[in-house]
Amino acid sequence: MKYEIVRRQSALLAVALCLIFPVSTHAQRGQRGAQAPQTAKATAPFDITGTWVSVITEDWKYRMVTPRKGDYDGVPGTVEAFRTANAWDPAKDEAAGEQCKGYGAVGVMRLPGYLRISWQDDNTLKMELTAGTQTRVFHFGPQEGRASEPTWQGYSTAQWESAITGRGEPRKGDLKVITTQLRAGYSRKNGVPYSANTNLAEYYHLMAGPNGDTLLTLISEIRDPQYLSETWVVSSHFKKVSDTSRWNPEPCSAR
């Protein structure tokens, strides 16, 4: 009987300890978790802000001017895509008020002009472009406030990507941006189409030029189940400039 009383007292003591110590542990965790999470701005592996001008070193005839109708060389398009491109009519786009079809997120980064990148807040990057007077917004963290309707620039989620060197030190990382919820438009201004189901993955990388210029390389991966037979990968380049006197936003043009 005495043994049974002791055993019950021990069991009660164990239960009491289990109730006490987790509370203490959670309290300690709460104190450690009270620190505000680091923002995307604070953890940026490089400074992407500033004004940049496009450096067109490839596909000049498709980017500096509007290509002629039916010229879609280099596009891994489907039969439907080429049929749609062959029916391109800029006058119809103008009449429908769709002059910006070539200035969506898929096409606008390939157009000549300037772009200005700044922090809209600590977890949101804003990119303003002179081409078509467009604005893109890159959201870090939870995907809140996602648009319900597709737009030319869609909804972009962003994250910093970094790697570890052999010495265990982080090196400069890339900015990865995924854009969906796009309004259907043109990947080239001459009517080469992309659908509303397009997924655009972009990788921005900062590098130093041999002459001391600061360069931004953009690798774009375009996936479109309707108009592309495979992933279309293109590269674009930009140079950082301090002279912003040529910043002159232009309206969209269908031609």
Question: Residue 31 — pLDDT band, cuts 50, 70, 90?
Answer: very low
Mind listing the pLDDT tens digit for each residue in 8-25? 443 433 333 333 334 333
Query: Is the separation of the CB atoms in 202 and 231 below 8 Å?
Result: no
**Residues whose CB is less than 8 angstroms from the CB of residue 234 and which lie 6 or more positions away in sequence, other chains included:** 59, 110, 219, 220, 222
Task: Evaluate if residue 33 carries a pLDDT over 90.
Answer: no
Query: Is the separation of the CB atoms in 138 and 223 below 8 Å?
Result: no
Name 59's bridge partners: none
Which pLDDT belongs to residue 44? 95
- Reference 61, options 229, 172, 158, 190; nearest CA is 190
Q: What is the largest distance, in Å, between two alpha-carbon atoms of the chain?
A: 100
User: What stretches of 87-134 show up as alpha helix (H) in DSSP?
Assistant: 90-95, 105-108
**Residues whose CB is less than 8 angstroms from the CB of residue 88 and which lie 6 or more positions away in sequence, other chains included:** 69, 190, 191
Mind listing the pLDDT tens digit for each residue in 104-152? 999 999 999 999 999 999 999 999 999 999 999 999 987 665 666 999 9
Give the mean model confidence (pLDDT) for residues 209-234: 97
Which pLDDT belongs to residue 58? 87
Which pLDDT belongs to residue 101? 98
Q: In 3-state terms, what secondary structure has residue 61?
A: helix
Which pLDDT belongs to residue 49? 98
Take residue 177 and report the two structure tokens written for it: 């941006």
Give the mean model confidence (pLDDT) for residues 62-69: 95
Question: Residue 162 — pLDDT band, cuts 50, 70, 90?
Answer: confident
Residue boundaries of the structural domains of the chain: 1-35, 50-241
pTM above 0.85, yes or no: no
